[in-house]
Amino acid sequence: MKIKGLENLTNEEINRELELGGKFVVFPYAISVLIMTFKRSSDIYFLKSNESAIKYGYKYLLISLFAGWWGIPWGPIYTIQSIFKAFSGTDVTKELLEELNKPFHL
């Protein structure tokens, strides 16, 4: 699993950022093809405590604006939801940390 935004950060720096309010987020986006609409999520992004989510979310906002609203009825609904989430992302920190802390079994 690739997490964007962790480049050149040590585990200690990541933990410090999480203590300061950093978080792991995904950005939903909508794509419509004729009458079918698909709601998808981006890769996981790590946002430092002082970073704005729109730094990464703007491209998913644009995808939804141009490709999401075509399908009726879900296209406009998913597009509006995606646009609002582009400004904050969906926080998946708790779920990700729980998954990473699970014991590994062969």
Write out pLDDT tens, residues 77-105.
Answer: 999 999 999 999 999 999 999 988 888 76
Residue 19: count of CB within 10 angstroms of its CB: 9
Under the banding of pLDDT at 50, 70 and 90, the label for residue 1 is low
**pLDDT score, position 72:** 87
- Domain residues of the chain, as ranges? 3-100
CA–CA gap between residue 21 and residue 4 (Å, rounded): 17
Write out pLDDT tens, residues 35-75.
Answer: 899 999 999 999 999 999 999 999 999 999 999 998 989 99
